[in-house]
Amino acid sequence: MDSLTQIVLGAAVGQAVAGRQIGNRAMLYGAIAGTIPDLDVIASNFTDTVSALEIHRGFTHSILFSVLFAPVFGWLFSLFEKQASWKKLSWLFFWGFVTHPLLDAHTTWGTQLFWPLDLRLAYKNIFVIDPLYTLPFLIFLIMAMRQKRSSPKRRKYNKIGLIISSSYLALTLVLKGITYFKFQDALKNQDIDYVDMQTKPSAFNSVLWTANVKTNDAYLIGHYSFFDSKPISFKSYPKNHELINEIKDKPKMQRMIKISENWFTISKENEKLYFNDLRFGLMSLSPNAKTFVFSYEISEKNDTIFFKERDKKPEDGKKLVKELWGRLKGN
């Protein structure tokens, strides 16, 4: 999830663990704990694109990291925090660390919660930024923050925030199940044979959902809003995997294919090849959309493959938000 959401979750967890002892400082320490796992993005400044993608949501998002480093940070903060014990602070950091990847596992990217096992959990039931999850949570956290440390209202508001956010997360799982069957029925009604299907919410909401459908020679992408009144339509995107036949077996290409979980297309523009990760959708909802959110230019030098992420334009993001708002209101 986005940084603000993880800060809010960490702060709420900090309050739940040590709010009675240290008040708002528990929220501060929890917010810090909720932020630390995402510091793995720093790796992008020191390594290549593929390695950075592999590192993100890896070790720092694992249970092992939480177990190993919670006592360390608990000890560091106990050096100047005298109103809470090392044990209490270690417990605070453990829950601040571990709830971060537990929440991230519900997004499209997934999380290596059981690192070093090569397994990413990705339930794909909530977008990385969802105001309906974050804002109510934030409001009740602020209300709790304004209460005295010993006030029952402080714990009550914090608890309500945790309940509302968790309930919304559970609701998105239900919505995912409903939309999955909607897409499944649409494919059946249109006599479309397919190999596999993945569904996920579109950006910033849980009303408009997207399906990636794998067929033998192409991927189909369709959208469904709970306000739709017309049948679901699908647009086809050829796999074009044959375009990388000569370099497909090279180590970095194999690693990139693994990262995408084999949900990718290859496109060719101005004699350049692009690797498109389908899991995160398109940069537009228009019928002629071709550019994916995560698209990487492929190049080769000295028998080594390199990937460079395609630059995104701010105006493309604004256009996508406008299109999303129009599309989620129904087709």
Q: Where are the domains of the chain?
A: 3-172, 190-328
DSSP code of residue 249: T
pLDDT of residue 159: 97
Query: Token pair of 265, please?
Result: 């297309």
Residue 156 backbone phi and psi in degrees, to 5:
-65, -50
Sequence-separated (6 or more) residues with CB below 8 Å from residue 119: 112, 113
Enter the pTM of the model: 0.93
Tell me the three state secondary structure of residue 200: strand
Q: Whose CA is closest to 70, among 46, 87, 45, 49?
A: 87
Do residues 330 and 228 lie in contact, with contact meaning Cβ atoms separated by under 8 Å?
Answer: yes
10 Å Cβ neighbour count for 101? 26
Runs of H (alpha helix) within the chain:
3-22, 24-35, 49-55, 63-78, 86-104, 131-145, 152-189, 251-259, 314-328
Query: Token pair of 122, please?
Result: 């990705």
| Tens digit of pLDDT at every position of the chain (331 positions) | 999 999 999 999 999 999 999 999 999 999 999 999 999 999 878 889 999 999 999 999 999 999 999 999 999 999 999 999 999 999 999 999 999 999 999 999 889 999 999 889 999 999 999 999 999 999 999 999 999 999 999 999 999 999 999 999 999 999 999 999 999 999 999 999 999 999 999 999 999 999 999 999 999 999 999 999 999 999 999 999 999 999 999 999 999 999 999 999 999 999 999 999 999 889 988 888 888 999 999 999 888 899 999 988 888 888 889 999 999 999 8
